[in-house]
Structure 1
């Protein structure tokens, strides 16, 4: 082959490769590196406080890989939405992990690999919900997190949420039903954390809090019991969830006060009612957004799917083909996308 023809052939090959593998315009992990917890703040690789913003999947059994999550959907999450982090919500019951561990582990593996390629931080969410006692799923949690850290523990973009929303009561040894309080959650955490630390010794671990991860505000306790008996060690955070249409000033005040004493990550929130449905209250949601920006509290919105409820950002029928922005967005989707793209 003549030199000119050879050069042209190489150039065409390179252009074809570039077209097939577009260079990402954003890479949150490359920008900020491994995370750490300093005092009450989540910090980047330099030790500076950082606010991550992102989206949660819906339950993988309904809206997982190949449905609401595809390569194109993740591309859009990084570029069109400006997300830093994807929360991968694996329900334990409700037709989730309990029903087919192998199937769901394989799906999580795929999502983690694909999100990591795109420079996203990934929050591994053990989405225990009903029953609300995390101890009910202790052995399953150990099994799941053992696999995750053996397969992905060397990925510094991973964070771990070990109990989504502790709630309700459990049957104690004396035969009486007792509330799932902080002591119960802490006992669970102290058994699961070593499993994660064995394969991911420096990763950030986020621990659920009483009464649906409300820091106890939804019950009759509040965060004081956590203040009095915090987790020992490094790189731990505490979960706070809110739904702005139901959770107003008392919840915001609790978040404001608690974030002065504890490192808090809002791993789930919506502008709707606590069911993830109903009308949006953007005024209340904006008050939360302002508070979290001021305090540099990282947040993840619920949810990146086309479920019929108002809390899902896409109109039904959008997935799996998209598009992932514009006319396919519900009212909440348009609003949350705007908030995620705001200058930090």
Structure 2
């Protein structure tokens, strides 16, 4: 399958921010080395951190697919082998759009596609984030019934796995935090009826900016958290667009809330334009210090600078390994994923 013309596919899934001041050691590629899941087992949220089966804080680093309705040819056995064994990634985010030609057009097809990608990530010892990629409309309640159906099936089939995380609302926008909280408190029990143990990742206000892109901040969540356990709150950033105010918000939030950066890029909010590697590195340094897990956008050959592969790589089925098939952003992020994990030894 070939990707559609570029304008049909949203980029990073984030509209322009309003006028707010922009402010593995576990997987070396050898047969005997433990995979990230072997090393850490089922994860759980302990305090403000993501912890392994022994209660030790861990930081996962990996990649998000682009929309699987547009770029299924970029998540093949070969590309996922490269992600797990050449990149040494810990986690794959499976990005399933709901609208934009996604789930609502063929629920059976896309649910089966997610099942298959969970199995592929599991076979390679990576964690898998099941991303309910709601984008437009920005009110997650619009898709609540669909989400209940989808997550019931996913959680029921995969509850016995040690490597699942459920991201239940990609980027809410134009709605209050209380509205997002209400959605989460209706959906999480549906997941828990099938899977009592896997972490749930809750999208935050204003395109998962912890509210910053709509003039708010993390305190509204601190003061009114979701009434559920074993959950984290998501934060998304794009280094060229999201500057000091966003970075400082993430730093403050991480001291009071369990945060998982399930999407970021080194470009502007649309995954386009120049790479700001210096600003992106500041975010990565903070996330390393705070042990905030992160996932980069995106593992495809889209024409935008935020897609890691050069155009045509996926349609020619690779090659996938090394730096030859990668754009500048791909070379940069692969290098940072490949640095050894600091997973606790015990």
TM-score (norm 2): 0.88
Q: Which residue of 1 aligns with 2:46?
A: 38
Contiguous gaps of at least 5 residues in structure 1: 1-21, 169-179
Aligned mates of 1:164, 1:154 — CA distance in 2:
24
Q: Does the CA contact (< 8 Å) of 2:200 and 2:232 recur in 1?
A: yes
Alignment correspondent of 2:214: 219
Q: Answer whether contact 1:26 1:79 (CA < 8 A) is retained.
A: no
Q: How many residue pairs get matched?
A: 310
The match for 1:342 is 339
| Residues 131-142 of structure 1 mapped to structure 2, 5 A cutoff | 131-142=137-148
C-alpha displacement of 1:50: 0.2
How far is the alpha carbon of 1:26 from its aligned partner?
A: 4.9
> 2:326 aligned to 308, 329, 332, which one?
329
Cα deviation per residue 1:277-316 (whole Å; 9 max; x = unaligned)? Answer: 1110001000001000000000000000111111000001
1:108 paired to 2:104: no
Measured in 1, the distance between the counterparts of 2:284 and 2:331 equals: 15
Q: C-alpha offsets along residues 146-180 of structure 1, whole Å, 9 cap, x if unaligned?
A: 11012112112100000000002xxxxxxxxxxx1
- The structural deviation recorded for 1:232 is 2.6
Instruction: Name the residue aligned to 1:275.
Output: 270
- SS where residue 45 of structure 2 aligns? strand
Correspondence for 1:76: 82
The residue number in structure 2 matching 1:53 is: 61
**SS of alignment partner, residue 210 of structure 2:** coil
Q: Report the Cα distance in structure 1 between the residues aligned to 2:170 and 2:64, rounded to whole angstroms.
A: 12
- Alignment correspondent of 1:207: 202
Whether contact under 8 Å (1:89, 1:126) holds in the other structure is yes
Distance 1:149 1:36 in 2: 16
Which residue does the alignment assign to 1:292? Answer: 287
Partner of 1:258: 253
Asked if 1 retains the 8 angstrom alpha-carbon contact of 2:206 and 2:213, the reply is: yes
Change in CA separation of 1:58 and 1:24 when aligned onto 2, cut-off 3 Å: farther
Higher helix share: 1
Cα RMSD for the two superposed structures: 1.1
Q: Deviations over 1:52-109 (max 9, x none)?
A: 0000000010012xx0011111110011111000000000000000101111111111
The answer to whether the 8 A contact 1:40-1:260 is kept is yes
User: Secondary structure at 1:189's aligned position in 2?
Assistant: helix
Distance 2:147 2:133 in 1: 10
Distance 1:131 1:24 in 2: 47
Aligned to 1:190: 185
Q: Distance in 2 between matches of 1:154 and 1:194?
A: 17
CA distance in 2, matches of 1:25, 1:329: 26
Q: What is the rounded CA distance, in whole Å, between the counterparts of 1:182 and 1:245 in structure 2?
A: 26
* Structure 1 residues 170-191: Cα deviation after superposition (integer angstroms, max 9, x where no partner): xxxxxxxxxx111000000011
Structure 2: distance between partners of 1:80 and 1:207? 30
Q: Is the 1:86–1:121 Cα contact (8 Å) retained in structure 2?
A: yes
SS of the aligned residue for 1:94 comes to coil
**Which has the bigger relative contact order, CA under 8 A and spacing at least 6?**
2
CA contact 2:66–2:299 (8 Å) conserved in 1: yes
1:23 and 1:261 map into 2 onto residues whose CA distance is 39
Q: Is the 1:25–1:79 Cα contact (8 Å) retained in structure 2?
A: no
What is the SS of the residue equivalent to 2:233?
strand
Aligned equivalents of 2:47, 2:225: Cα separation in 1 = 13
Structure 2: runs of 5+ lacking an equivalent: 1-29
